[in-house]
Each structure stands twice: as structure tokens, then as C-alpha cells.
Structure 1
Amino acid sequence: MPTKLAMESAISIGHLNHYFGKGQLRKQVLFEIDLEINTGEIVIMTGPSGSGKTTLLTLIGGLRAAQSGSLQVLGQELYGATSQQLARARKYHGYIFQAHNLHGSLTALQNVKMGLELHQELTVAEMKARSRQMLEQVGLGDRIDYYPENLSGGQKQRVAIARALVSHPKLVLADEPTAALDSKSGRDVVNLMQTLAKEQGCTILLVTHDNRILDIADRIVSMEDGKLKENATTAS
């Protein structure tokens, strides 16, 4: 459960290192990562492919276990956390993947409803009502019963955003959310993320190669060869 410590820093990382493989095949992929992100900030992380951006994002999202250092997310220390504790921590995150990751056999409404599965305090009727409302907010109120195969790329990504935000998470993590979209659809998607996140008061950490969307950030950091640095210039 997030503590009051999280009110100032949504993410606080210190001396974080990470390795893939074991024995002679062990390779270090993250080096002494230090990062503070305040509640309500929109931070964009840039850097070349293979620099460690997605690895760091998955650690923050509790999709991988931290191996060393300190990794506090929403006031909870994830280094040393059990798989059950990581699963509980994910209840407070929204995660947007590069390839929307929608289930082809589920409608838009059913896909969004999956974002509420960890919230057992809600009834099925409440989950459906919240999912419908979220799809209306992303402009897909007339597509709730459509399957992904009948949606455009931009519409699929909006469903993914709705799924990530339907639980009103404190933190949204987005991995290349505009990579498969044309410039207009990409801009629409990040504007939507920015607007809804501000309305809900959540923090966003967004990984991207897309220089066209850097202006939505409060701050830009970059990763290279597994090392993180603050950019000299901050987005306006």
C-alpha cells in the first residue's frame, strides 16, 4: 500500500544496477541509476535502442525484480519485494505497451475492464460502467463492442490508454506508445494521455524515440549504454 512518503516522490531510485544472465554470460545492463520523479510530473526518457530504457521501465513497473540498490515506487521499496508484493504494487500502476497488447478475442469494453481485475472491491457492474465511461473519455464511446481487428492503430492505442487509466492509477508507465502510429495519431494519443493524467493527478514516465512529442514533458532524461543522465535542456 502506498505510504504518505509517496506524496512528494512518485519514484525514487538510488544506485540501481541490473544484470541479465548468470555466470560467464552475466552482463550488466543498468549502471548506478539515480532518478527522482515527483508526483504529477510527466517525464520522458529517450535514448537509442538497447540502452536499457525498457528494462528500467519494467523494473519500476514491478514486472521484474530489482537486484540491487533502492527502487521506491509510490512509497514502496521494490528491492527485495516478493512476487506477491510486486503484484500488489502493480495495482497502482497503469502500463501502456508499444504494441497495445489488446486481446483479440475481447471487445474494447472487455479489454478495458481487464485494467480493473485486481480491484476486487468493485462489482462487475461497476467495472463495466467505469470501462464504458473511460472509453467515452478517449472518444470511443461508439466502439465499445468492437473487436481490435475492427479498430485502427490509433483507436487500438486509445483502448490501451483507457485500460491503463481506468483504475485511476497513481503512476502511468508508457513504452513507445506512439511507435506504430502516424504523426497525427501519435500526437492525439499523447495529448490524450497528458490531459487524462492531469485530470487524474497521476505521474507519467514515458519512453520514446519520437522527437515530435517531447514538448509534453516537464522534464527529459536520456539513457545511453545503461546509464541515465538528465538532459541539459528541459521541455517547456
Structure 2
Amino acid sequence: MKPQNVESGHKSYQMTEAIVELRGVNIRQGNRNILENVDLRIARGEFVYLVGKTGSGKSSLLKTLYAALPLASGSATVSGFDLRKTGRRKIPKLRRQLGIVFQDFNLLMDRSVEDNLRFALEATGWKKGTGAEERIDQVLQEVGLADRRRSMPHTLSGGEQQRVAFARALLNAPTLLIADEVTGNLDPETSKDILELMRNLGREHGTAVLFATHDYRLLDTFHARVVRCEGGKVFNSEG
């Protein structure tokens, strides 16, 4: 079967390329096993739900992917980085390949939308005069907030603040977007809008999306593969 491509501008992404590849991974916190023998593959441009009850290991799995938890055993590659060989010096490079969004927006409330994004760019090594302003314009267009560039966060709705958080996560054109319970504070209609936004990222840019939630109702928004944490194991099924 011919590999499916995702078109983005002048680039063509093959969705067969693995962005996440875990094999036989054990995840621990201290001396406690959280998840055992995890096998997980996420392709470029793929949208995947990560579900499970509170305490089932979802957050520990996500932390392993962005190297906040060390790999206990097994093999793991994320966005081209071998987690077995990713020491402290390489972690910032890995995280520049990732976009990470949490339930709490973590915006700087005393700075405008554009200043929040500018701060994030400077923190990841962007210099003035290197296209930073153009990049801010691009990501705000993508999340539908082009007209709120100079707004203060407290003047935005919850959904708009979450979109600013997504814009911030997109600044470095991540290969993998990790969304951890990002709709937990939003109403159902806004939650659907955020899901559609994430889905479009994969279609338009080849960004893989791993969306963690304990709200199973969101799985009916659109069908996608479901990865489930339960009883110390990780199970894959089709959405």
C-alpha cells in the first residue's frame, strides 16, 4: 500500500515515519513501577488519544516522552532522539522538537499575547531580527487569534487563552504536540474547537498529536486511534 502523504506548503510528509517509537519500555517513579513493557508507535501527522483514569500512568508516560522522567528500561526514540542517550545537555534540544500544552494555560498575565510568545521564542534561542515577529504572526493566524495579538490574557476567554498556549507550543514547528488534559477547564463546545484545531495541525503540517484525557466523551468528536493506560499496562485500539 502506498504511504499516505500530508502536504504542507512545499513539503510532503510521509505518515509512515515514526515520531514516537517505544519498545519494551518500563516507566518508574522512584522504586515504584508505573507502566510495564510499553510498546507505542506514533507516526508523523497521526492524531492519537491517550486515555485512562486518574493515576493510571498517563502523565508518567507523557513525562517520559519529554524526558522529565528517565527511561527505566527498554528502547525509546522521540522526534529522532534516543532517550537512552539523551542526557541533560540534549534535553533542551529534544524539547524544541516538541510542543507541550497543559490544562493550566501558564500564561504571563502581565504581558500581552505577543509578548508571551516573544518571551517563549527568546527562551528557546530566537534572536531579534531573525523572523520572530513573522513567526508570531503565523502561529496566531493558525490558532485564529490574529486580531488578539496585543490583548492582555485576562481579557480573553478560557478557550482563547488555551489557543494562546497552543500558539506558544507551535512556535518552533514541533514534530510532536503533547496535550495533557487541555480541555479540562473548557466547556464542551470550546473543547470540540480545540480538538479540531489539533487535528488540523496533523493534516496541514505533519505534526503528530498525542492528546491525553480522562473525558471519554471527547472520543466521539472524531475517530482516531486510542491508547489506554490501565493496570500498569498500555493497550492500543482503533478509534
What range is the shorter-chain TM-score in? 0.7 to 0.9
Is 1:46 aligned with 2:51?
A: yes
Match of 2:128 in 1: 123
2:136 corresponds to which letter in structure 1?
A: S
Picking from 59, 68, 89, the partner of 2:64 is 59
**SS at 1:84 equivalent:** coil
Mapped contact 2:45–2:205 kept (Cα < 8 A): no
Paired position in structure 2 for 1:3: none
SS in 1 for 2:73: coil
* Ranges of 4+ aligned residues in structure 1 off by more than 4 Å: none
Candidates 79, 104, 111, aligned match of 2:109: 104
Distance 2:212 2:195 in 1: 12
User: Offset of 1:43 from its aligned partner?
Assistant: 0.7
Give 3-state SS (helix, strand or coil) of 1:58's partner.
Answer: helix
Of Structure 1 and Structure 2, which has the larger fraction of its residues in strand? 2
The AA in structure 1 aligned to 2:42 is: I
**1:94 lines up with 2:99 in the alignment:** yes
Residues of 2 paired with 1:121 and 1:112: CA distance? 11
Q: Which residue of 1 aligns with 2:227?
A: 221
Separation in 1 of the partners of 2:28 and 2:80?
Answer: 24
Measured at CA, do residues 65 and 87 of structure 1 come closer, stay the same or move farther in structure 2, by a change above 3 Å? farther
Alignment partner, residue 15 of structure 1: 24
CA distance in 1, matches of 2:86, 2:130: 33
**Greater shift after overlay, 198-207 or 111-120?**
111-120
CA RMSD of aligned residues (A): 2.0
Count of paired positions: 224
Letter in 2 for 1:37: I
Are the counterparts in 2 of residues 93 and 173 from structure 1 also a CA contact under 8 Å?
yes
1:119 deviates by 5.1
Classify the secondary structure of the residue corresponding to 2:131. Answer: helix
> Which digits, 9 at most, give the CA deviation of each residue in 1:183-203, with x for residues without a partner?
011111111121133211111
Give the one of 181, 184, 189 matched to 1:179: 184
Following TM superposition, by how much is the alpha carbon of 1:147 offset from its aligned partner in structure 2, in angstroms? 2.0
Once the two structures are TM-superposed, the CA of residue 132 in structure 1 deviates from its matched residue by 2.3
Matched, 1:155 2:160: yes
Q: 2:36 aligns with which of 21, 25, 31?
A: 31
CA distance in 2 between counterparts of 1:68 and 1:56 reads 13
Whether the aligned pair in 2 keeps the contact of 1:194 and 1:216 (CA below 8 Å) is no
CA contact (8 A) 2:177 2:208 kept: yes
Unaligned runs of 5+ in 2: 1-14
Percent identity of equivalent pairs: 35
Deviations 1:63-83 (A, max 9, x none): 332222111112221124211
The more displaced of 186-195 and 63-72 is 63-72
Give 2:97's aligned amino acid: Y
Determine which structure has the larger helix proportion and give its number.
1
Which residue does 1:198 correspond to in 2? 203
- Structure 1 unaligned regions, length at least 5: 1-5
When normalised by structure 1's length, the TM-score is 0.87
